[in-house]
Amino acid sequence: MLQMDLNTLFSLQGKVALVTGGSRGIGKMITQGLLQAGAKVYITARKKAVCEEVAKELSVFGPCIAIASDIGTPEGRAELLQALGQKEDKLHILINNAGTNWGGEFDKYPDEAFEKVLHLNVSAIFSMTRDFIHLLERAASSEDPARVINIGSMDGLHIPTVAHTGTFAYTSSKAAVHHLTRNLAVTLAPRHITVNAIAPGFFPSKMTEFVFDKHLADIEENSL
């Protein structure tokens, strides 16, 4: 009979993870959780000094290494892949967390909002997964698949509960993340890589500072 050991059931000992946008907000929280479960975690974000400072801070929980990069560009992803590839020959967990937002009035909402938000929130998730596929495959087996986890949002499942913030590009991008996740899951399952999305509600972070400042009543009313 299979014996379950509660102390090791959720252990990530021996696993290598990469968290995009791991320098603050939800990515930082995820990084801490992975470290506490025993993984070695690489974090990436554009601001090198912040990234390195946070990796140092989180190292009390386990091995946390910063590699600064802009994952929205092919050059940035190539540098990240090369730097990670010099240290690791496999990647067990890829958390596609880095994201951005743009709020504005409908009548004045700029085209570049859609370009910027969809590029990072959707295209970069696809590109990161494609570019890191060989490292993921090396960690993957039928008994213990590699994992890709995309950070979607409740706002990709329904019209935002916080009205009037004009996050047209963001909500569309998060719905696209959920659908892209299904598509990638089917594509990569035969290669022993699972692809899942999570859809967080509101968390205090730089991205949501203005919502907590200006629309707290809305959040409280709608989360009952």
Residue numbers of the site for ligand NAP (CB under 6 A)? 20-21, 23-27, 44-47, 50, 70-72, 97-100, 120, 151, 153, 200, 202-203, 205-208
Least separation in angstroms between CB 149 and ligand NAP: 11
Q: Is there a catalytic annotation at residue 170?
A: yes
Our CB check for ligand NAP shows the closer of 23 and 129 to be: 23
Beta strands in the chain (DSSP E): 16-20, 40-44, 64-66, 93-96, 146-151, 193-198
Our CB check for ligand NAP shows the closer of 95 and 188 to be: 95
DSSP annotation of 165: S
Our CB check for ligand NAP shows the closer of 100 and 129 to be: 100
Give me Rg for the CA atoms of the chain: 18
Tokens representing 73 are: 């560009």
CA dist., res. 118 & res. 166, Å (int) = 15
List 170, 180, 188, 215, catalytic entry? 170
Least separation in angstroms between CB 20 and ligand NAP: 6
CA dist., res. 96 & res. 129, Å (int) = 8
Least separation in angstroms between CB 6 and ligand NAP: 29
Our CB check for ligand NAP shows the closer of 20 and 32 to be: 20
Least separation in angstroms between CB 166 and ligand NAP: 16
**Which long-range contacts link 107-111 to residues 24+ away (Cβ below 8 Å)?**
109/166, 109/168, 109/169
Kindly list the catalytic residues: 170
